[in-house]
Amino acid sequence: MNRYCEGTLGGICRFAESLRPGSNQRYLHSMDIYVIGEPTSVRIALMMFHNNRYHHVSITVQATQFERLMAARAQAHNIPNTHRPIVEGVIVIMREIESDPIKHFEMMQASINW
């Protein structure tokens, strides 16, 4: 966690950590399937936005990590892996953020108000 995250963004940073592969040894990979919480497109997009902006982790790296976590979660709980619709929603959200300054600002606000 960087210094800025210790204050204002501490809440989101702890959850977003699960999408930063190898960034923090406090969590074992198997625990990340729980740390990530209940994934929704908006929640995952917020985490990815945070990691990209404040920890310089690319969206591609995070998407790969997310897919691994969802596969591990499905296997651990013997449930179907339903990550594809979430990923599709994240892609739409991230494109909106890139092309619309207002959406970008709203995402920053949502990160602070996690």
User: Where are the chain's structural domains?
Assistant: 3-112
Taking alpha carbons only, the member of 51, 54, 43, 50 closest to residue 87 is 43
> What are residue 35's phi and psi, to 5 degrees?
-60, -35
pTM of the shown model: 0.80
Instruction: Supply the mean pLDDT for the chain.
Output: 80
Q: For 35-51, what is each residue's pLDDT tens digit?
A: 666 788 988 999 999 89
> What are residue 7's phi and psi, to 5 degrees?
-100, -95
Q: For 79-113, what is each residue's pLDDT tens digit?
A: 888 888 998 999 999 999 989 998 888 888 887 76
Which token pair is 109?
A: 């606000």
